Amino acid sequence: MNHDTTQPAVRPTRGQTQPSRMEWLVTFGLILLAVIPVLAGMVRVGQLTIGLDTTPVTPENARFVASPLPVILHILGSTVYALLGAFQFAPSFRLRYPRWHRRAGWLLVPAGLVAALSGLWMAHFYPWPAGDGELLYAMRLIVGFMMTLSLIQAVVAVRQRKFAQHGAWMVRAYALGMGAGTQVLTQIIWMVLVGTSGEFARNMVMGSGWLINLLIAEWIISRRLTNPQRRAKATRT
Ligand code: HEM
């Protein structure tokens, strides 16, 4: 079946451009999911810039102090990506502000690439902190690579005016990046239910965060592709 949908030349009605309660909830939920990693990132950037002379070097931060540029780029890129991205998936925002959607998209994609590529760089070159191991290293390489590939595919699709594919690749790319937010939740759940720490716990917490997001992304994509109404909504810009 061909799922390509090119942009229909239909002027949206006012009702279609009013964000529904569900859209507000999803946007707010995504921002909420990003809040903790974004705030933690801001603290880290503060330590590595204005606080560099006063921050004591510890085993926890030594790799960041020795090579601050990748982590600073990572935090700035992922903050823009996570926060801007939250507004891109609500169909009525796209209908009401199509120019905003396109402009934000052209900022979001490079920000996402910076987040993913710097993440890959850190995974490979930073010394592993206590609790990190080979499995987490492999997962980070896979996630960083898949996120980069998804962003590139999303750009290729939109250049070819294949809006359904563009949307699907962006959902995947965003879900992978937002693993950082879901991992905060899986960490809390793990601590409450299991309570152990160490390499196994870290692999479970991190891996389940990415897996949950990927499963949700594939569920959203398949729902859109199998439901003509949702597909039309998802491809309207
Ligand atoms: C929007 C998404 C993301 C956000 C908000 C985010 C946030 C952060 C933050 C705040 C840090 C600094 C942690 C600290 O100060 O201890 C960090 C580190 C890191 N991130 Fe991300 N990240 C995101 C996506 C990714 C992705 C997709 C990868 C996959 C390659 C990744 C890999 C890493 C690595 C390897 C580190 C260094 C970890 C360490 O050495 O402790 N991140 N991230």
How far does residue 120's CA lie from ligand 1's centre (Å)?
A: 9
Residue 5 has pLDDT above 50, yes or no: no
Residue 97 has pLDDT above 50, yes or no: yes
Q: What would the mean pLDDT of 97-120 be, rounded to a whole number?
A: 95
- 13, part of any domain: no
To test ligand 1's pocket by mutation, which of 64, 122, 132 has the most ligand atoms within 8 angstroms of CB?
122
Q: What would the mean pLDDT of 142-170 be, rounded to a whole number?
A: 97
- 112, part of any domain: yes
Q: What would the mean pLDDT of 149-157 be, rounded to a whole number?
A: 98
User: How many structural domains does the chain have?
Assistant: 1
More confident position, 20 or 208: 208
- 38, part of any domain: yes
pTM: 0.90
Residue 118 has pLDDT above 70, yes or no: yes
What number does the ligand 1 atom closest to the CA of 82 have? 1
- 9, part of any domain: no
Q: What would the mean pLDDT of 116-133 be, rounded to a whole number?
A: 96
Gyration radius of the chain's alpha carbons: 19
Nearest CA to ligand 1 atom 15: 44
What residues does ligand 1 touch, defined as CB less than 6 Å away?
A: 37-38, 40-41, 44, 63, 71, 74-75, 78, 81-82, 115-116, 119-120, 122-123, 126, 129, 140, 143-144, 147, 176-178, 180
Structural domain span for residue 155: 18-235
To test ligand 1's pocket by mutation, which of 74, 107, 148, 203 has the most ligand atoms within 8 angstroms of CB?
74
pLDDT in tens, 21-78: 888 999 999 999 999 999 999 999 999 999 988 999 999 999 999 999 999 999 999 9
pLDDT at residue 29 in the model: 96
Residue 204 has pLDDT above 80, yes or no: yes
Q: With cut-offs at 50, 70 and 90, classify the pLDDT of residue 226.
A: confident
- 69, part of any domain: yes
- 186, part of any domain: yes
More confident position, 10 or 62: 62
Q: What would the mean pLDDT of 94-102 be, rounded to a whole number?
A: 88
pLDDT at residue 32 in the model: 97
pLDDT at residue 18 in the model: 76
pLDDT at residue 7 in the model: 47
- 3, part of any domain: no
pLDDT at residue 36 in the model: 97
- 164, part of any domain: yes
Tell me whether residue 116 is exposed, middle or buried, using C-beta atoms within 10 angstroms of its C-beta: 0 to 12, 13 to 18, 19 or more: buried
pLDDT at residue 60 in the model: 94
